[in-house]
Amino acid sequence: GGGPPTRDYEEWDRLHSFSAPLGEGGPQYSAAAFMPSDPQVFALAMPEGVQLWQQGEASTCSSHLEHPGVTSIAFHKAQPMLGSAANDGSIVVWDAEDSGALYKARGSSAALTGIRFIGSDEGFQFAFATTGLDGCARLWDARFEEQALCVQCPQALTCVEYHDGSHQLLVGCTDGLIHRCDARTGRELPSLDGSLFCPGTTDHARSLATSPS
């Protein structure tokens, strides 16, 4: 007939659920990310580190990456790399295929709140950005130990996002603004005022997402 299509929700649950206990007595997950080059793989951040999961008939935790106090995780868009940032200011870039640590650094003396890879353009294949409660947005290159660039914002930063098409790095700040810069040059761009959309609020961004193009 012409009725709406039916869905087998039991089959959906069987294929798409996984055994990751939540709530009291179980792990407390703070972030999640899918691997763009292989959407069957995803990562979950928890107090002791990062879990890598493989989806399938029965989703399984394939490995556990030790990085205590992880606050943010992100996959590289083109390569099998996973970055994790922690509340002790440390950064680790992992090989998502063999679970080995490719890069370690002390990103800040303050807690880090975000990490994002910059992209796959020439010269930026190994670049990533971090944000922290010290108000610094830092750019890194996983081939070198020292940071490549630091943009100081007026207050603590809570999140970070990168837009491929415009090369803009966006960071959420506790001053209520979204601060922006050109990730290639570090040139600061006009900030966005989130309070324009929520008049009378003193709140700030806790997460950012940009359109793919």
Residue 164: partners with Cβ closer than 8 Å, 6 or more residues away: 77, 119, 212, 213
Q: 3-class DSSP state for residue 132? A: strand
pLDDT tens figures, 122-181: 778 899 999 999 999 999 999 888 888 899 999 999 999 999 888 899 999 998 899 999
Burial class (CB in 10 A: 0-12, 13-18, 19+), 212: exposed
Contact 94, 81 (CB under 8 A): yes
Is the pLDDT at 13 greater than 70, yes or no?
no
pLDDT tens figures, 137-151: 999 999 888 888 899
pLDDT tens figures, 82-99: 999 999 999 999 999 999
- Rounded to the nearest integer, the mean pLDDT of the chain is 84
Residue bearing tokens 């003193």: 202
Across residues 182-209, what is the average pLDDT?
Answer: 79
Task: Return the pLDDT at 44.
Answer: 94
Cα pseudo-dihedral 101, 104, 108, 112, rounded to 10: -10
Task: Return the pLDDT at 144.
Answer: 87
- For residue 50, CA distances in Å to 37, 102, 153, 177 come to 19, 15, 29, 30
The distance between the two most distant Cα atoms of the chain, rounded to a whole number of Å, is 65
Q: pTM for this one?
A: 0.83
Burial class (CB in 10 A: 0-12, 13-18, 19+), 104: middle
Across residues 26-54, what is the average pLDDT?
Answer: 89
Question: Does CATH place domain 10-15+26-196 in 1.10.357.10?
Answer: no
